Amino acid sequence: AQKVTQTQTSISVMEKTTVTMDCVYETQDSSYFLFWYKQTASGEIVFLIRQDSYKKENATVGHYSLNFQKPKSSIGLIITATQIEDSAVYFCAMESGSFNKLTFGAGTRLAVCP
Amino acid sequence: EAAVTQSPRNKVTVTGGNVTLSCRQTNSHNYMYWYRQDTGHGLRLIHYSYGAGNLQIGDVPDGYKATRTTQEDFFLLLELASPSQTSLYFCASSDAGGYAETLYFGSGTRLTVL
């Protein structure tokens, strides 16, 4: 069975610093896909970034990047130069085995302080 | 930009009550999903569908029925609501072009079962 674990319940950082959010996953499949989604204070959930398991290069989109460590089954989200509006809950998710079916982690709440 | 609309935004019912949550997407996506969000659990998949008349069982289906009447409309039914079903419910849709498609979420329905 697939499982996604986010151990950090909440993180607080100062504005303009870099933060890393951890995520580990379990799967028996050799090919899988990893995602990060963001839930804003209003409740809106939006897609941020994705990593395909067969790609060695870490994905980067804007000031979001991933630290993909396949041997450790780990996919960390790195946010550089954090902004107040990055304050949100971040969910790690995995698509593995079942087509178009995602398993989500419990989420990490990020607070960016001025 | 995909548009997913949920109704109602808030719903209060009593134990044993009958509730229908509605979801409509306007971008002709094939896949639609119902998730529930609870503190400590993240997003958990209840049911999903890859087209009108199709229904797939998710990870936490007990106590829920769903029906996909058209390409656009997906309904979640709670026929005998229980307090354990008090939660924030999200509908989402995705295209079926291949693996790892982005999910587009609605704004959520907060359900309280007294």
CB contact (8 A) between residue B42 and residue A43: no
Q: What are residue B11's DSSP bridge partners?
A: B111
Report the pLDDT value the prediction gives residue A47, as an integer from 0 to 100: 95
Q: A41 CB near a chain B CB, below 8 Å?
A: no
Report the pLDDT value the prediction gives residue B2, as an integer from 0 to 100: 55
Residues 6+ apart with CB under 8 A from A1: A26
Report the pLDDT value the prediction gives residue B95, as an integer from 0 to 100: 83
Instruction: Note whether A47 and A35 are within 8 A (CB).
Output: yes
Q: Let me know the angle formed at the C-alpha of B57 by B52 and B62, rounded to the nearest 5 degrees.
A: 125
Which chain B residues are Cβ-neighbours of A105 within 8 angstroms?
A: 42
| Coil, strand or helix at B85 | helix
Q: Please state whether A54 falls in left (phi above 0), alpha (psi between -120 and 50) or beta.
A: alpha
More confident residue, B28 or A105: A105
Report the pLDDT value the prediction gives residue A100, as an integer from 0 to 100: 75
Distance between CA atoms of B3 and B26, rounded to whole angstroms?
6
Report the pLDDT value the prediction gives residue B100, as an integer from 0 to 100: 67
A83 CA to chain B: closest CA distance, Å? Answer: 23
Report the pLDDT value the prediction gives residue A1, as an integer from 0 to 100: 77
Residue owning tokens 């989109």 = A61
B102 CA to chain A: closest CA distance, Å? Answer: 7
More confident residue, A101 or A78: A78
Distance between CA atoms of B99 and B68, rounded to whole angstroms?
22
Residue owning tokens 């995995």 = A94
Res A15 pLDDT > 60:
yes
> Considering CB atoms only, which of A100, A105, A106 is closest to B31?
A100
How large a percentage of chain A has pLDDT more than 90? Answer: 88
Helical residues (DSSP H) of B8-110, grouped into ranges: none
Distance between CA atoms of A36 and A92, rounded to whole angstroms?
5
Question: Could you tell me the mean pLDDT of each successive run of 10 residues in chain B, 114 residues long?
Answer: 88 97 92 93 93 93 97 96 97 77 92 97
> Considering CB atoms only, which of A43, A44, A99 is closest to B99?
A99
Q: A47 CB near a chain B CB, below 8 Å?
A: yes
Report the pLDDT value the prediction gives residue A16, as an integer from 0 to 100: 97
For residue B87, give the nearest of B55, B105, B64, B69 by alpha carbon.
B64
Secondary structure element (H or E) that encloses residue B108, with its range? none
- Which burial class, exposed, middle or buried, applies to A30 when counting CB atoms under 10 A from its CB (0-12, 13-18, 19+)? exposed
Q: Which amino acid, one-letter code, is at A42?
A: S
Name the residue of chain A whose CA is nearest to B33's CA. Answer: A101
For residue B39, give the nearest of A26, A29, A14, A107 by alpha carbon.
A107
Report the pLDDT value the prediction gives residue B1, as an integer from 0 to 100: 59
CB contact (8 A) between residue B94 and residue A106: no
- For A40-91, the pLDDT digits (tens) are 999 999 999 999 999 999 999 999 999 999 999 999 999 999 999 999 999 9
Name the residue of chain A whose CA is nearest to B9's CA. Answer: A43
